[in-house]
Amino acid sequence: MAERTFVLLKPDAVQRGLIGEIVSRFERRGLKVTALKLVRVSRSLGETYYAEHKGKSFFEPLMAYIAAGPVVAMVLEGEGAVAVVRKMIGKTNSADADPGTIRGDLALTIGRNVIHGSDSADSAKREVALFFRPDELLSYARIDETWLRE
Ligand code: IDP
Ligand code: MG
C-alpha cells in the first residue's frame, strides 16, 4: 500500500539552488510527487509545525531559520515512504549524516540541515494538513509504477 509523507526543503536548500537536486533524488527513487509548492512559513505556522520543540534551546533559532526565506513543501507517495525518505535524508546533525544521504552530501551542520521529513505516518498526516488543502493533493499514475514492484 502506498504511504504518504511530508517533506519540506528549508530556506537554505532554496537559497543554495538545491531544489532540483533534492527533488530529483526522490523522483529517481520511485517516489511520486503528489503535491508541491513554494511557500513562506509565518511565525504562527512555524510554531505549530515545530510545536514539539517549543521550550528547547534551539527553538528561537529554528523559528528564525525556517522563516528566513521561501521553502518548498511537498507530499511524496510510495511504499514505505515515511521510513524511506527519513533514510534518504540522514541524521539530524548533518555532520554525522552518512555520505549518500541528502544531509550527508549537501549539508554540514545541525543548524542548516536543508530538509525536513515526517518521522511517522501520524506526523505526516498532521504536517500535510498544515501546508496543503485536500484538493491540492493530486492522484495520478506514473508510467514507471508497474516497474517499481513485482
Ligand atoms: P529532524 O529534522 O531530523 O526530525 P528534530 O530533532 O525533529 O530533527 O529537529 C527539528 C529541527 O530542529 C532539525 O532538523 C534542525 O533544523 C533543528 N535542530 C534540532 N536540534 C538542533 C540543535 O541542537 N541545534 C540547532 N538546531 C537543531
Ligand atoms: Mg523531527
pLDDT digits (tens, 9 = 90+) for 47-104: 999 999 999 999 999 999 999 999 999 999 999 999 999 999 999 999 999 999 999 9
Which pLDDT does position 129 carry in this prediction? 98
Question: Nearest C-alpha to atom 25 of ligand 1 is from which residue?
Answer: 111
pLDDT over 80 (residue 1): no
Distance from Cα 148 to the centre of ligand 1, integer Å: 32
- Is 25 within a domain? yes
Ligand (nearest to CA of 58): 1
Which pLDDT does position 17 carry in this prediction? 98
Which pLDDT does position 108 carry in this prediction? 98
Residue among 10, 131, 6, 132 at smallest CA distance from 70: 10
Quickly state the pLDDT bin for 125 (edges 50, 70, 90).
very high
Distance from Cα 110 to the centre of ligand 1, integer Å: 7
Ligand (nearest to CA of 86): 1
- Is 48 within a domain? yes
116 annotated active-site: yes
- Is 29 within a domain? yes
- Is 142 within a domain? no
DSSP assignment letter at 32: E
- Is 81 within a domain? yes
C-alpha cell at 10: 528549508
Report the alpha-carbon distance of residue 44 to residue 50 in Å, rounded: 10
CA 101 to centroid of chain Cα atoms = 13
Using left for φ > 0, alpha for ψ between -120 and 50, and beta otherwise, residue 89 falls in alpha
Which pLDDT does position 93 carry in this prediction? 98
Quickly state the pLDDT bin for 8 (edges 50, 70, 90).
very high
- Is 116 within a domain? yes
Instruction: Single out the catalytic residue among 116, 117, 118, 131.
Output: 116
pLDDT tens-digit series, residues 22-42? 999 999 999 999 999 999 999
- The mean pLDDT value for 10-20 works out to 98
Quickly state the pLDDT bin for 112 (edges 50, 70, 90).
very high
Count of domains in the chain?
Answer: 1
Distance from Cα 144 to the centre of ligand 2, integer Å: 31
Three-state SS string over 91-147 comes to: CCCHHHCCECEHHHHHCCCCCCCCEEECCCHHHHHHHHHHHCCHHHCCCCCCCCHHH
- Is 13 within a domain? yes
- Is 143 within a domain? no
Query: What is the residue range of 12's domain?
Result: 2-136
Is there a contact between 7 and 117 (Cβ–Cβ < 8 Å)? yes
Pocket of ligand 1 (CB under 6 A): 53, 58, 62, 92, 110-111, 113, 116, 119
Residue among 121, 72, 113 at smallest CA distance from 90: 113
Question: Which CATH number goes with the domain that contains 8?
Answer: 3.30.70.141
